[in-house]
Amino acid sequence: MRSLSTAAAPAPRISQTPLPYELNALEPVLTQTQMDYHYNRHHKTYVTKYNEKLDQIEAAQAKKDYPAIARIAREIRFFGGGNWNHTFFWESLAPVKLGGGVRPSDSSPLSGLIKSSWGSYDAFIASFNAETAAIQGSGWGWLVYNKSTKSLEYRATANQDLITDQQPSGLVPLLNVDIWEHAFYIDYKHAKADFLKDVWKVVNWAKVEQRLGEATK
């Protein structure tokens, strides 16, 4: 009789998803220099470290080093979250020439939900910016769809936590804005509020609409 192996299959390694536009495509909101540091250094580091931690946890599992396994698992969660959050962020933006900053029509489902929750796009952006600017330390601001209430809500996450881990469980991310200093400091220095004001000029509302459509199917 053939024996069956009980060893877990190695976890798949990941690759950094290519940017959906050129590094200079979001200028003047985000310069090529800013994007180069953010994408090619910071985001890339999350991918590299995630894969390194997978190697380390497999070695710790082979040794049955349970304290190390617990520690490395937390690191895998952090670096994996950093990769996912950044990939989602890049797709939440678009160059102006490709529709970045263009809001949906008043008759769109997204516009209806924005108005239902905040009254207008301007009121939504003002509220989003105020709450995101108030995040202590590093984190993300999110627009989410709540499947339970069928409405839009704001959420904030710290560090590289995932919005999908928040309660209730039926929160679907539609848009995120990175408020870690590395996301804006080269271009905006300490003026975080200016970054939050300008980033809406390149928000990919068409992508946000697509995500909402998928969430409400």
Residue list, annotated binding site: 38, 86, 178, 182
Question: Binding site for Mn(2+): which residues?
Answer: 38, 86, 178, 182
Residues 62-86 as b or e (16 or more Cβ within 10 Å = b): eeeeeeebeebeeebbbbbbbbbbb
Residues 143-165 as b or e (16 or more Cβ within 10 Å = b): bbbbeeeeebebbbbeebbebee
Neighbours of 38 (CB within 10 A): 24
